[in-house]
Amino acid sequence: MKGVIPNRFLFDFEFPLAHRKKAPLIDGSLTGWTDAELLPPLCELDDETPFAPVWACWNDSGLFIACAVTNKKLPLRCDPKVFWKGDNLRVCCDMRDARQNRRATRFCQQFYILPTGGGPEGVDAVAGCAKIHRARDDAALFSSECGTPDRIKVASTVSPDGYALEAHIPAACLSGFDPAEHGRIGFYYMLEDRDRGQQFLTVGDDLNWHVDPSTWSTAILAR
């Protein structure tokens, strides 16, 4: 039986985020990713088995993230207008890693990345940035649909039983991104699947990860 308080809530996690001089190609194939970029399966501390690998890395051009979901039975349901419903990957980051802050600052951002729901027919991958509830100050918002080089680049490959998804969040979209001066950042991800529910890095909805940056982990931008 699981405890009332998840084991992950009792720790402050930090881990090195892999540095890639040559960035992965964002084309939906996942061929550029290796085990070195896999994020730690912290859910195992609560006797949970991850249902999908999630990768992340960085370089001076920004952050990169990817996931691969397989063995799906339900069709994908993705809508950027209600990105938190259905199938989605969300990434939160705090470029100042202010772990004592219980409310987001202008350096805190939430990005959503969807395998479908974009383009004229709603079948393309799409990404964007959403406000963090109860933030002290709001960071700027960006969307992959703006079509300019300083916006989020996202790609996916959808199969009958799953999808591969990857994205590049450029430095221009990251409020306060400065690896040389601020090499520790707050980092969190939430992967939601209509078949299997939620897979997340530290804590779930009941502990307000979407409001409270102190519940995120620390990623070290080491070269």
- Among 28-32, 61-65, 137-141, the minimum mean pLDDT is found in 137-141
CB count in 10 Å sphere of residue 95 = 22
What are the structural domains of the chain? 7-220 (2.60.40.1190)
Q: Mean pLDDT, the chain, as a whole number?
A: 93
Assigned token pair, 62: 């920004």
Report the candidate in 187, 169, 166 with the shortest Cα–Cα distance to residue 115: 166
Task: Give the least confident one: 54-58, 96-100, 165-169.
Answer: 96-100
| Contact criterion met (CB below 8 Å) for 60 and 71 | no
The percent of residues in the chain predicted with pLDDT above 70, rounded, is: 96
Q: What is the pLDDT of residue 89?
A: 98
Q: How far apart are CA 133 and CA 141, in angstroms?
A: 14
Q: Which of 61, 90, 80 is nearest to 173 (CA)?
A: 61
The DSSP annotation for 161-174 comes to TEEEEEEEEEGGGS
Give the Cα separation of 81 and 95 in Å (integer): 26
Query: What pLDDT does 60 receive?
Result: 97
Given this model, what pLDDT does residue 141 score?
85
Give the pLDDT confidence score for residue 142 in this predicted structure: 78
pLDDT of the residue at 1? 42
CA dist 52 and 125 (Å) reads 18
| Other CB atoms within 10 A of residue 48 CB | 17
Tell me which of 16-25, 30-39, 136-145, 194-203 is least confident.
Answer: 136-145
With cut-offs at 50, 70 and 90, classify the pLDDT of residue 98: confident
Q: 81-92: buried (b, 16+ CB within 10 Å) or exposed (e) per residue?
A: eebeebbbbbbb
Tokens of 65: 């993230």
The whole-model pTM stands at 0.93
Distance separating alpha carbons of residues 179 and 132, to the nearest angstrom: 23
Average pLDDT score over residue span 174-192: 97
d(CA 81, CA 215) in angstroms, rounded, equals 26
Q: What is the rounded average pLDDT of the residues 99-115?
A: 93
Confidence tier at 4 by pLDDT (50, 70, 90) = confident
**Per residue in 110-142, pLDDT tens?**
999 999 999 999 999 999 999 999 999 999 887
Whether 162 shows a pLDDT value over 50: the answer reads: yes
